[in-house]
Amino acid sequence: MDSDVCKLRIGPFNMHFAGYQPKANGNTEFCEDIPATGNTIIVMDAIDSELRNIPIEVRLIEDTGDKSLDEGTADGSQLNSVTMLHLPSKIYETGSIPIEFNFTHAGKYVGLVTAGDKGQYTSRFPFSVGIEKTSYGIYVLVAGVILLGLGFYKYAGRARGMSRPQGEQG
């Protein structure tokens, strides 16, 4: 779990984040980049057992780039205007918080998790939906392959040059 990239920190506690799109992508688990719009299930699992005993509030908002929204400085009406989903504060005994949501358009979103009786711990995790993540891996691989071919070709030219100065050994 140490190297788990899908981990959220809420104050002193840890949660695990996973997104699923059963219709589009079957059992594949996503982290902060959900590949497509449409029906999505997000599950947050409490890693620390303390989280099972304290109320947790969850909010999904559109990422407007204005951080003040979720840091509580803005007034509630502004927050509500960008809120897409709100789960009021509640104790989750199983330690698992499932959220089902239908993302209608691609874009950047933020999840806000507030824990504790007074909402003393908060966590903010940005994620994207339906935004093609440019994966450079494949280009690196293709470039590597072409370089390998070129490298071998250069090497072969050297070998040929070595046998050309003819030593006519019977």
Partner 1 sequence: MRRLVNRWLVCLFTASGLFTASSLLTASGLVAAFVPLPVAAHGERATEPYIRTRTVHWYDVTWSSGSIAANDEITVAGKFRLFSDWPDAASLPDLVFLSNGSPGAVLTRVESYISGIPARQSARGLKTGKDYTFKLVMKGRVPGKWHLHPVLNVHGAGAIVGPGAWVEVTGKQSDYKEPLTTMTGVKIDDLQTYGVARAQMWHFGYGVLALLWLLWWLRRPLIIPRWLVTQKGREDLLITSTDDKVAAALLVTVLLVVIIGYKQTVEEFPNVVPLQAGFVKVPVPPNVPEAASIEVKNAEYDVPGRSLRMDVVITNNTDRPIRVGEFMTAQLRFINKDLPAAVESIDPSFPKDLLAGAGLKVGSDSPIAPGESRSTTLDATDAAWEVERLVSFLSNVDSRVGGLVFFYNDQGERHMSEISGAVVPVFTQLGSKVSTKAPEILNARVD
Partner 2 sequence: MNKNDALILQSAELSPQAAQWSRTFDYLIIVVGAFLVWSVTYISQLLLAGDWDFFIDWKDRQYWVLITPTVTIMMAAGFQAIFWKLFRLPIGATASLLLFLVGVWIVRYHSWYGMAYFPLSLVIPGTCLMSAIALDAILVLSRSWLITGMIGATLYGLLFYPSNWVAIAGYFQPVEHMGSMASVADMIGYIYPRSGTPEYIRIIERGTLRTFADHAIWVSAFFSGFVCVFSYYIFWFIGSFACNPKFVAVGTRFKSAFGGSGKPAAAGESA
Residue number, 134 or 163, with CB nearest to partner 1: 163
34 vs 131: CA distance, rounded Å: 8
Stretch that binds partner 1, among 51-59, 62-70, 117-125, 161-169 (CB under 8 A): 161-169
Using CB under 8 A as the criterion, which residues of the chain lie in contact with partner 2 when the complex forms?
152-153, 155-156, 159
Nearest to 61 by CA among 119, 121, 122: 122
Q: Does 84 bind partner 1 (CB under 8 A)?
A: no
* Residue matched to tokens 């006519």: 168
- Cβ 150 to partner 2 shortest distance, Å: 10
What stretches of the chain adopt beta strand conformation (E)? 7-10, 13-20, 33-34, 38-46, 56-62, 83-90, 96-103, 107-115, 121-129
Per-residue contact flags (x/-) with partner 1 for residues 26 to 65, judged by CB under 8 A:
xxx-------------------------------------
Query: Among residues 5, 65, 136, 138, which is the contact residue for partner 1, using CB under 8 A?
Result: 138
- Cβ 25 to partner 2 shortest distance, Å: 14
For residues 110 and 63, is the Cβ–Cβ distance under 8 A? yes
Decide which of partner 1, partner 2, none touches 77; Cβ closer than 5 to 8 Å per partner kind. Answer: none
For residues 8 and 123, is the Cβ–Cβ distance under 8 A? yes
